[in-house]
Chains A and B, each alone.
Chain A
């Protein structure tokens, strides 16, 4: 079970002088269980691509296939698709509308035509997965703090029990602690339940810490599809399209330029630390031999 994008393009204002490509010839396979980071700066087409994955936008050219079926087909069940491919928009707390948090989380599964008991069970477990405090379940969503609202809103999508979860900048506007907590919870969903996560982000450090695959979009084209270490080794090219590598990549590369024999492939703080310690212990081992100044 995977999502396949086959020569997908999306054209805005087709047939007018303002016609332009938001996406151009995207080919992509998203298998189950991966944690994918999608990066690209504003207007690169990442939102358009994400909305295509659950059928909110139909491609102008090409096909999006889910379980081998074209999702643009007339008889394709869009509701089924949306229950399997969950989409958390940017600032999802702005879509909360019910009188209590619990009722709001019930909205998604309720639309799937499940019986009341299953709906409530799912809402309950989704809120728990997001570590939403029990005592706030029957509060109005409008009285919560920003971080709690964000959790409630993500739980609203999670309650539909999707196999694929798309999150568009889920940490925008949160403080560092709230950000780390949310990212940890999302990472847990992938590790423990095998859900496929697509994380759209500007922050390379966020992406590098969790994902096992990176997609880079620029001007509607998929310019890079690689594992983090490989992706960030192109940090000079990334800079040219207005992006940057994680801060550790820069540090490691500069250390290397200064003649310290570290491998520059580290993408997370932990890897960088291990790498630097390795070089230090190597040096200590060599200390018995005379060293020329380095």
Chain B
């Protein structure tokens, strides 16, 4: 189950999109998400969809892998579709028993599905093509201007990369503790919800203890290597814009321009 979730995973391959500067990808994704909400019309979706298709093609991430990431949100999608279909008032199309499906309902359901799918696929394209380290470097660099308002950009980025780094470790730890407690006869599957919640205690307590222990060890290890925050810290791989990043910015500008033209013309 946990292995099925591909959102937020990195897909290792060599491609144009993988080589792009993480800042370009972050800004691009941000722009793309905004555009999905601002230009939500048929031509708007066509333009956004076109950019997505081009990005997927240029990233060399297999379509099957991308679609697998949509599986966990299927439930969310179907619920929103049902709500939209039946609850929006307007011109009735189908009517049975107490339910009416309206023209407006269908339209809004379809729009919503398109928007959510493009949103998820679009943002996961960023994580598929960017390692967590690059991502946090990019975030740190983008947040730097906000230092004027005392925003601790480096600390935020460091916390993010540590949190990301620890997800697989804690998952493994959870698995181990669950097995150990099952071996002591613990039962996590039967009983009502309160019973089950209480049954989680033998997992949660050791898990929290382990998390604190690891945090402590890590803090100690960082201090032992004289870590003292981001001030004056240099990087092994500093972020530098390349020609390909200029090209990507060009594509993004063109994308916005086409969107605006479409909006004006229709």
Q: Show the binding face of A for B, using Cβ within 8 Å.
A: 51, 54, 56, 79, 82-83, 86-87, 89, 92, 94-97, 107-108, 111-112, 142, 156-157, 160
List, in ascending order, chain A residues with CB within 8 A of B184's CB: 82, 95, 107-108, 111, 156-157, 160
Tell me the interface secondary structure of chain B in the complex: helix
Q: Given A51-B179, A56-B179, A89-B180, A111–B185 Cβ distance below 8 Å? A: yes
For the complex, is B210 an interface residue (Cβ under 8 Å from A)? yes
Of B180, B201, B209, B210, the most chain A CB neighbours within 10 A belong to B180
Of A83, A92, A94, A96, the most chain B CB neighbours within 10 A belong to A94
List, in ascending order, chain B residues with CB within 8 A of A86's CB: 183
User: CB < 8 Å: which of B177, B185, B187, B201 contacts A95?
Assistant: B177
List, in ascending order, chain B residues with CB within 8 A of A92's CB: 180
Closest to B185 in A: A111
Q: Given A96-B206, A97-B206, A56–B181 Cβ distance below 8 Å? A: no
Closest to B173 in A: A94
List, in ascending order, chain A residues with CB within 8 A of B90's CB: none
For the complex, give the distance between the alpha carbons of A40 and B177 in Å.
Answer: 23
Which 5 A-B pairs have CB atoms at the shortest separation, nearest pair first? A111-B185, A97-B205, A87-B183, A108-B184, A95-B180
Taken residue by residue from 211 to 239, chain B's Cβ proximity to chain A (1 for < 8 Å, 0 otherwise) reads as 00000000000000000000000000000
For the complex, is B176 an interface residue (Cβ under 8 Å from A)? yes
| B179 close to A94 (CB less than 8 A) | no
Closest to B203 in A: A97
List, in ascending order, chain B residues with CB within 8 A of A156's CB: 184
Closest to B176 in A: A89
For the complex, give the distance between the alpha carbons of A79 and B184 in Å.
Answer: 9
19 A-B pairs (CB sep. < 8 Å): A51-B179, A79-B187, A86-B183, A87-B183, A89-B176, A89-B183, A94-B206, A94-B210, A95-B177, A95-B180, A95-B202, A97-B201, A97-B206, A107-B186, A107-B202, A111-B186, A112-B185, A156-B184, A160-B185
Minimum CB–CB distance for B209 against chain A, Å? 7
For the complex, give the distance between the alpha carbons of A283 and B243 in Å.
Answer: 86
How many residues of chain B get a CB closer than 8 Å to chain A's CBs?
17
Minimum CB–CB distance for A108 against chain B, Å? 4
For the complex, give the distance between the alpha carbons of A236 and B109 in Å.
Answer: 71
User: CB < 8 Å: which of B185, B201, B206, B210 contacts A82?
Assistant: B185
List, in ascending order, chain A residues with CB within 8 A of B176's CB: 89, 94
| A94 close to B209 (CB less than 8 A) | yes
User: CB < 8 Å: which of B182, B205, B206 contacts A56?
Assistant: B182
User: CB < 8 Å: which of B177, B179, B185 contacts A79?
Assistant: B185
| B209 close to A108 (CB less than 8 A) | no
For the complex, give the distance between the alpha carbons of A111 and B182 in Å.
Answer: 10
Task: Supply 6 further A-B pairs (C-beta < 8 A) apart from A92-B180, A95-B202, A160-B185.
Answer: A95-B177, A95-B184, A96-B206, A97-B205, A108-B185, A112-B185
| B206 close to A83 (CB less than 8 A) | no
For the complex, give the distance between the alpha carbons of A77 and B225 in Å.
Answer: 52
Minimum CB–CB distance for A97 against chain B, Å? 4
User: CB < 8 Å: which of B177, B183, B186, B187 contacts A94?
Assistant: B177
Closest to A80 in B: B185
Minimum CB–CB distance for A202 against chain B, Å? 19
| A83 close to B179 (CB less than 8 A) | no
For the complex, give the distance between the alpha carbons of A108 and B182 in Å.
Answer: 9
List, in ascending order, chain A residues with CB within 8 A of B187's CB: 79, 111
